[in-house]
Amino acid sequence: MSKGKILVTGGAGYIGSHTTVELQNAGYDVVIVDNLSNSNADMINGIERITGTRPAFYQVDCNDKEAMKDVFAKESGIKGIIHFAASKAVGESVQKPLMYYRNNLDSLMTLMELMPENGVEGIVFSSSCTVYGQPDILPVDETAPIKPALSPYGNTKQINEEIIRDAIYSGVPYKAIILRYFNPIGAHPTAEIGELPNGVPQNLVPFVTQTAMGIRKELSVFGDDYDTPDGSCIRDYINVVDLAKAHVIAVDRMLTNKSEEKVEIFNLGTGRGVSVLELINAFEAATGVKLNYKIVGRREGDIEKVWANPDRANNVLGWVAKENLEDTLASAWKWQEKLRRDGIM
Ligand code: UD1
């Protein structure tokens, strides 16, 4: 029997598609809303190939309130929402701040306005470790202060968290869980779904796999003069399937009234900091492919080092990041090879 219907906004995207698979595997029915602005309808086929079930799909922009009302009318009984849909390129957000504020704030408010009248019991929100800026204490836990955002993108995550908290404290009839992701990487082990960046990748791992494939000439390592053991920046790289599974636990928790508070916040990371140079070595070890890279200057706005204290998610959610870095990088490579086989890139 179905555990209920979950609306996944941005479900054709990278994290959304992996989460849809895990929701379906856990017995939920999934309704995807995605405007395909930075994603591909073919991901829906990949989801179906993995799970044998095709999620309902609406090509709709979540900022379009009338269209969203239609989705709720057609898909009665939606119990929970996972809200992934957002613009997420840090550099682009500096160029197009209004677009970022419009896309990322309106969509959340539209959904939250529609939740009570449609009886939706809870929302899980995709936030980011970017809200911590450069933390004073590492590993960083959820009580760390929120630092001034370094980009409009980062600011939208902070404001979205405030919107959720204010709404919850005002007494709205639903719950919220805010998940602060560290750096999601990798792909589904079947290589049926994965990350499909538009144009030149801004994020490290897609750039690594595209360079290894010969699509990019060489990887630029942004800085080797940071205050870290090898001088390159440190992040907490989390396997996307592990990350997806945390969303299922969060939804279960909201819908079975296990939340201790009406709004809860969890870091989702491994607890392990990995430098850019370590990641390159791990990629080469995992795949046997040599990577062409050079050290260049620092990238503006980069944080020197950040990794998670995931104790709260481990202890309260009972969730742990299980996959290791090498296997995760191998999965990213397998996905890149599949894109090549399919003639996509
Ligand atoms: C950034 C955002 C994060 C956001 C994510 C989404 C900040 C501080 N972080 O993560 O909030 O959720 O993007 O896209 O705003 N690197 C290279 N060469 C490259 C690309 C990256 O050396 O070609 C390095 C970067 O300097 C960084 C690491 O790789 O140290 C990871 O970079 P990236 O994948 O872009 O993620 P973040 O910047 O951590």
pLDDT for res 197 = 87
Q: Is 234 in the pocket of ligand 1 (CB under 6 A)?
A: no
pLDDT for res 84 = 98
Distance CA 135, CA 119 (A): 38
Instruction: Using alpha carbons, list the distances in angstroms from residue 294 to 197, 222, 231.
Output: 22, 9, 14
What's the 103 CA to ligand 1 centre distance in angstroms? Answer: 21
Whose C-alpha lies nearest to ligand 1, atom 2?
A: 130
81-115 core/surface letters (b: 16 or more CB in 10 A; e: else): bbbbbbbbbbebbeebeeebbebbbebbebbbebb
pLDDT for res 1 = 84
Q: What is the pLDDT of residues 190-203, one digit of tens each?
A: 999 999 988 999 99
Whether 43 contacts 70, CB under 8 Å: no
Distance CA 308, CA 142 (A): 9
End-to-end CA distance of the chain: 40
pLDDT for res 117 = 97
**Closest ligand 1 atom number to CA of residue 222:** 22
- pLDDT by 10-residue block (mean), the chain, 345 residues: 96 98 98 96 97 98 98 98 96 96 98 98 98 97 96 97 98 97 98 94 97 98 98 98 98 94 97 98 98 97 96 98 98 98 94
Q: Which domains does the chain possess?
A: 5-185+237-268 (3.40.50.720), 204-235+271-341 (3.90.25.10)
pLDDT for res 176 = 98
**Annotated catalytic, 153?**
yes
Q: Could you tell me the two tokens for 51?
A: 């799970």
Burial of 137 (0-12, 13-18, 19+ CB in 10 A): exposed
What's the 254 CA to ligand 1 centre distance in angstroms? Answer: 31
